[in-house]
Amino acid sequence: MDLKQIKQLIDLMQRSDLTEFAVEEEGFKIKIARASNAAAAPVVVATPTVATAVPFPAPAPAPAPAPAPAAAAPAPAAGGDEAGIVYVKSPMVGTFYKAASPESKAFAEVGTKITESSVVCIIEAMKIMNEIQADVKGTVVEILVENGSPVEYGQKIFKVKQG
């Protein structure tokens, strides 16, 4: 099960009266629960040997990826605000990889033209490799993270000149 499918499950729960949902697929088990008053509730993700609880506010998870690039545009950079520059931000906590494997070609390099649906990197979270789409159109100006480095939610990972 990938991140997109998990987000779809959360979105389904938000649009319905469901307060708890669980599914198991090839040794991967996920249970999502929320409080009926829309307060923060735990999301429990487990494999046969690991169980992790992650709190999340009920209405926030589904729309989180879309605003990330839009919010990046007005945010001033460390060196000042640059016109036409936006940032691809990490949609999750994990480890950043430029390519699918050490022998593979990087998804995006400086000078690469990307579209909203272009895969620009992989972020590994809980032993799951998540392909990250740009959500912006333009040319990669700078890669802000080293290959194999940890990233935080919302961290800028690519600097992109729109156009």
CATH number of the domain to which 142 belongs: 2.40.50.100
Residues 151, 113 share a domain: yes
Count of domains forming the chain: 2
Cβ–Cβ < 8 Å for 144, 157? yes
User: Residue 77 has what pLDDT?
Assistant: 40
Do the beta carbons of residue 136 and residue 160 sit within 8 Å? yes
Domain housing 24: 3-56
In this structure, is residue 15 part of a structural domain?
A: yes
Residues of the chain predicted below pLDDT 50: 38-41, 46-52, 56-80
Please report, to the nearest 10 degrees, the dihedral formed by the alpha carbons of residues 106, 110, 112, 117 taken in order.
70
Residue with tokens 């090839």: 26
Q: For residue 47, what pLDDT is reported?
A: 46
Indicate the pTM of the whole model. Answer: 0.51
Q: Which pLDDT belongs to residue 90? A: 93
